[in-house]
Structure 1
Amino acid sequence: MTGTIQTQGTVRGARIAGTLAMLAGAVLVIAGIVVWVVVATQLRAENIIVPDDAMAFQGSTVGGPFTAFVQADIIQHHALEASNGMTYAQLAQDDPVRATMMNASFLRASLFTSVVSFGVAAFAMGMGVISGMLGWGLRRVAAARA
């Protein structure tokens, strides 16, 4: 009798843990999707067009991780051309190109922040799927033991 009670408690606990894992997975997937959509919408609202001399996605509107990365890369390329290859820190404080380099640095940092946000959103979605699958599996094992 004691073995049956312990098994029932274990099965019940596994079902609850499985359900919680599936709920957590759903929350992670939904949160990841929401973050992805918000970041993409905000980027597209800026109407940034990847220039023709970029390494890829020429003429595309920046609205995803790849276009944001390519745009950040071409900003760096153009800024270094304007400064004859010198970085912000290498330019004299009174050099008028220093402001251009500072703006380029801020723009690149903003674009890279969006790239990281897309990565975090994708990670959350992936972990949500894994959590959901583990929860489903745990519930299946519990059902088989019942």
Structure 2
Amino acid sequence: MTAAMATPSVILSSRKAGVVRLIGILGLVGGLAFLLVGGLGWTTVSSQLSDEDITVAEDASFLGGAPVVGPFSAYAQADIINHHAMEASGGKTYAQLEQDDPTRPTVMTASLLRASLFTSILAFGVSAFAMGVGVLVALFGWAILTLVPGKNATV
């Protein structure tokens, strides 16, 4: 066997092996908890959007006619709301409109709807991030557990 193929080994005391094993278990459990919480967050936001019974406008640049239940459909609806508001206001934002402009309430409502949809998009992103971190942390915990010798192992 060559030196490059040799398996390096580290001898851990029983106490240190127990600490490393505990860290592995905590990583595995913590990662699974992150995965669960992220999934619950995603499901909750999707369910709440679904309960609103919103459909992406047919003239949207993508996903026209689709129900708003996820980040992409929420973005598509926010985008077309902006398009319609700009069309109604002659290309002006709420802040650019005169106080007595009759389209001002419509543009304000559009702005609030878009902000709500963007908040849901952000919630989906945070949930996806939590799930991704959960998978990584669980994998690191599992890897640690596979590397540390068992309680009854002899070295």
TM-score range, shorter chain: over 0.9
Which entry has the higher C-alpha Rg, 1 or 2?
Answer: 2
Which protein is richer in helix relative to its size? 1
Q: Give the match's secondary structure for 2:148.
A: helix
What are structure 1's unaligned runs of at least 5 residues?
none
State the Cα distance separating 1:143 from its structure 2 match. 2.1
2:31 to 25, 32, 48: 25
Structure 1's consecutive aligned runs of 4 or more residues displaced over 3 angstroms after TM superposition are none
The reply on whether 1:60 has 2:37 as its aligned counterpart is no
**Larger mean Cα displacement after TM superposition, 64-73 or 52-61:** 52-61
Alpha-carbon distance in 2 for matches of 1:83, 1:26: 49
Match of 2:131 in 1: 125
Deviation per residue, 1:70-120 (Å, 9 max, x gap): 100000000000000000000001111111111001000000000000000
Match of 2:92 in 1: 86
Alpha-carbon distance in 1 for matches of 2:64, 2:113: 18
Match of 1:9 in 2: 15
2:44 to 20, 38, 48: 38
> Match for 2:113: what amino acid?
L
> Match for 2:50: what amino acid?
R
Deviation per residue, 1:37-77 (Å, 9 max, x gap): 11001101111111111011111110000000010000000
Identity among equivalent positions (%) equals 48
> Match for 1:50: what amino acid?
V
Alpha-carbon distance in 1 for matches of 2:80, 2:74: 10
- TM-score w.r.t. structure 1 length? 0.93
Match of 1:96 in 2: 102
> Match for 1:87: what amino acid?
T
1:72 to 68, 71, 78: 78
Match of 1:113 in 2: 119
Question: Size of the alignment, in residue pairs?
Answer: 142
- TM-score w.r.t. structure 2 length? 0.88
